[in-house]
Structure 1
Amino acid sequence: MLESNFKFPGQTAFYKGKVRDVYTIEDRLMVMAVSDRISAFDVVLPRPIPYKGQVLNQVAAIMLEATKDIVPNWVKSTPLPNVTIGLKCETFPVEMVVRGNLTGHAWRTYKTGQRVLCGVTMPEGLKENDFFPTPIITPTTKAHEGHDEDISREEIIAQGLVSKEDYEQLEKYTLALFARGKEMAAKRGLILVDTKYEFGKIGDTIYVIDEIHTPDSSRYFYAEGYEENQQAGKQQRQLSKEFVREWLMENGFQGKDGQQIPEMTDAFVNSVSERYIELFENITGQKFVKEDVTGEEAEAKIIATLKQF
């Protein structure tokens, strides 16, 4: 599914994100259709990746179910492999990024000599992919268009983006979810390296929303060989969509002005699809079953589920 085109009774709004199509129903429910679109460097690539939406939606459903004892989540039902129905929350305008290892953006900042990221001081003497003594939270603003921007805890509270009380609760939820995610990953022979969480609120209750611990929102390393690779100064084996970014960079694209997206051949598209299915099976320990429900059949099934609520 490159994009959805549903029309629901009681529909009051529609939002098309980079990957998700979101329908608001009577201002209290949301239907989130996870498309097969793929983005990198904040750019949506021209060709969809078969079954990618199903992978992301089903991983998120499994992870949200496994963490609902920590924090309530927005999910009410998953009527289709790539569709979730849930509560419409007032979204906090920040994303809670949590990092267990010095990787990615944190490493790029660190190797320039800087030791402060989003107001958090990183210790001296670390190598790329080393564990932090304790996980750090490096929040970003939540941009509907363009790039998310780094921001500190102090700036968030000072600007009134989130109240001090709510932000402190978001930090607690973030660290608890990350600890659970690392625990689940360890059972699969993986290290949950970094991830991001989004939260919303209804009344006085905070909910975790969107997706968690998916290959699009998270980075995983294989635990086997981690120590040996660190000691030898080798790159870690990753389980994330980083391979797509690496392919783009190898072909001269990093989302900068004037750069052209390289051609996505059938072979490349199919290889990315296979990698996403591999990610699903490694992260969840479950066999992936390809499901195709589209068009009027899909719409009817969603409407039938909506009527239950």
Structure 2
Amino acid sequence: MNLADKVLAVNNDLPIRTDAPVHSGKVRSVYWLTEADSKRLIKEKGYDVPSDTALAIMVISDRISAFDCIWTGKDGMRGVPGKGAALNAISNHWFKLFKAQGLADSHILDIPHPFVWIVQKAKPVMIEAICRQYITGSMWRSYVKGEREFCGIELADGLVKDSKLTELLQTPSTKGVLQGIPGVPAVDDVNITRKNIEDNFAAFNFKSVDDIALYEKLLTEGFDVISTALADIDQVFVDTKFEFGYVKDIDGNDKLIYMDEVGTPDSSRIWDGAQYRAGNVVENSKEGFRQWLLNHFADADILLNKDRMNERLALAADNELPVDVLMHVSKTYIDLAEKITGEKIILSDNPKAEIITILREQYQLID
């Protein structure tokens, strides 16, 4: 079988029973189940949620996005083999660890297939919750230009690229375009301060001011849990993005949870520990792919300058990347997932057919 056939690139065309449009993001697609199917599954599967909870099927793909573009490869490679299964396996592992250590739940109720989550509907907190333990990436680029304040936090002079910060920094930004918040520009992914959040907590979907401190606590604790576990396999947890939301518990009370994905090579920077101690930065995350793209194209500014988005989209559409580049990303993701979980990532011959069979026969969600 052709390796390209094992890639799940299109994940928004599954015949799952739904009466709402399929929401397709850069990597995942979400199918909202009918009210009847949600109620039936909650009862049949014994999910620990109120009986009227809205459920969705979330299907991950093997697509790879970087710089807000989807990239493809030669020989029909429309994604990265094993990427979707690796990302889900890593997130599942951390979510279970968070719950076991008493941090908070996630939105996942069931895992029918390595590419599939059954999730409960959450109201997202409109913040990209970013934690940084080292100065690198966009923060370093701004620091070199003379910026010293990040999200209301003052950094000292004299910091060195890729060095460990004296404390874990929380540098939140907006999730999506938020209108009408004083002092917060109505553009996607803009840095915000804690005071911005406090003064406008409801606009960010927090239920109370007190929940800001809870989100910060869960952010720090989640980072520490992952950082400690990664250190055990000699990996450095550099920075990461968390997302939070509210769901109803079994008694109908609001509960703040982790959602989306956590601690993956897509949402984090992770460095090889031995190499870092030797003075080298070796990326075990998507950052390595980003750096390859920046070095590969003659005009890197297209990838970094948001004002050149049309050129960037054209660049991604018009350039099929070498297969060995995508296979290097595949090896990075699969190796990391297997180290973290202690289990093999098996490449399915036909993931879409497997998903359809399981959702039809075990969940009765496909006619």
Equivalent of 2:31 in 16, 23, 40: 23
Query: Relative to structure 1, is the Cα distance of residues 6 and 225 closer, same or farther in structure 2, using a 3 angstrom cutoff?
Result: closer
CA distance in 1, matches of 2:167, 2:293: 32
Deviation of 1:129 after TM superposition, in Å, equals 1.5
Secondary structure of the corresponding residue to residue 238 of structure 1: coil
Larger Rg: 2
Secondary structure class of the residue paired with 1:148 = coil
CA distance in structure 2 between the aligned counterparts of 1:197 and 1:77, rounded to whole angstroms? 21
Q: Is the 8 A contact 1:74 1:87 kept in 2?
A: yes
Equivalent in the alignment of 1:64: 95
Partner residue, 1:251:
296
Deviation for aligned residue 1:222: 1.9
Gaps of 5+ in 1: 230-234
In structure 1, which of residues 82, 94, 105 is the aligned counterpart of residue 115 of structure 2? 82
CA distance in 1, matches of 2:113, 2:19: 19
Cα pair 1:52 1:273 within 8 Å, conserved = yes
Aligned to 2:60: 34
Tell me by how many angstroms 1:213 deviates.
0.6
Structure ranking higher in strand proportion: 1
Distance between the aligned counterparts of 1:272 and 1:222, measured in 2? Answer: 15
Structure 2: unaligned runs, 5 residues or longer: 1-7, 36-52, 73-77, 178-186, 249-253
CA deviations 1:230-273 (Å, max 9, x no partner) are: xxxxx422211112111211122543342423331233333332
Q: How many Å separate the matches in 1 of 2:128 and 2:361? A: 33
Task: Using the TM superposition, name which of 275-284 and 51-60 deviates more.
Answer: 275-284
Cα separation, 1, equivalents of 2:225 and 2:61: 27
Q: Distance in 1 between matches of 2:31 and 2:296?
A: 36
Q: Once superposed, what is the RMSD of the aligned Cα atoms?
A: 2.2
1:189 aligns with 2:234: yes
Tell whether the 8 Å contact from 2:85 to 2:345 is kept in structure 1 after alignment: no
- TM alignment of 1:192-271, pairs within 5 A: 192-203=237-248, 204-229=254-279, 235-252=280-297, 253=300, 254-255=302-303, 256-257=308-309, 258-259=311-312, 260-261=315-316, 262-271=319-328
Aligned to 1:284: 341
Provide TM-score, normalisation by structure 2: 0.76
- TM-superposed CA distance for 1:307, in Å, is 5.8
SS of the residue corresponding to residue 182 of structure 1 reads: helix
1:2 — aligned with what? Answer: 9
Structure 1 Cα separation of the partners of residues 320 and 364 of structure 2: 43
288-297 vs 152-161, which moves further: 288-297
What TM-score does the superposition give when structure 1 sets the normalisation length?
A: 0.90
* SS of alignment partner, residue 146 of structure 2: coil
Quick check: 2:284–2:332 contact (8 Å CA) kept in 1? no
Alpha-carbon distance in 1 for matches of 2:212, 2:227: 22
Aligned to 1:142: 175
Higher relative contact order (CA 8 A, sep 6+): 2
Is 1:294 paired with 2:351? Answer: yes
Please identify which structure carries the higher helix content. 2
Q: Distance in 2 between matches of 1:293 and 1:225?
A: 37
Question: Contact 1:70–1:176 (CA<8 Å) still a contact in 2?
Answer: yes
AA in 1 matched with 2:224: A
Quote the sequence identity (%): 30
- Displacement of 1:220 in angstroms is 1.1
In the TM superposition, 1:38-187 aligns within 5 A as 38-46=64-72, 47-68=78-99, 69-143=102-176, 147-159=188-200, 160-161=203-204, 162=206, 163-187=208-232
Asked if the contact 1:216–1:241 (Cα under 8 Å) also holds between the matched residues in 2, the reply is yes
Aligned residues: 302
Say which is worse superposed, 276-285 or 125-134, in terms of deviation: 276-285
Match of 2:336, SS state, is helix
SS at match of 2:105: coil
Superposition deviation, residue 299 in structure 1: 2.0
Moved over 6 A (4+): none
Q: Does 1:12 align with 2:20?
A: yes
Which deviates the most, 124-133 or 170-179? Answer: 124-133
Offset from partner CA, 1:43-99 (integer Å, 9 cap, x none): 111331122111111111111111112111111111111111121111111111001
Give the structure 1 partner of residue 182 of structure 2: none
